[in-house]
Amino acid sequence: MSKTELVPAPALAQEFGIHRRSLARWIVDQSLGLPEPVKIRGRLFFKREEIEHWKAEQIRNARGAKTA
């Protein structure tokens, strides 16, 4: 059984260099494709593997936009 690393929402906002309220807006904006958080005891967590995949996708999309 593999262990899934969970990242608390405030730590993820800090990692992205954004305010926690901005992260809350990103969660609501489905067009961004941010992975859905997991709610545990009223707190939001993100799966590290899903976040890393999402970040890589954002980088690919940004590079594609520059070459177009």
Q: Give pLDDT tens digits for 1-57.
A: 678 999 999 999 999 999 999 999 999 999 999 999 999 999 999 999 999 999 999
The CATH code belonging to domain 6-67 is 1.10.1660
pLDDT for residue 67 is more than 70: no
CA–CA gap between residue 20 and residue 9 (Å, rounded):
8
CB atoms within 10 A of CB 48: 14
Under a CB-based contact definition with an 8 Å cutoff, are residues 6 and 48 in contact? yes
CB atoms within 10 A of CB 22: 12
Check residue 1 and give its pLDDT.
61
Residue partners of 18: CB distance under 8 A and separation at least 6: 26
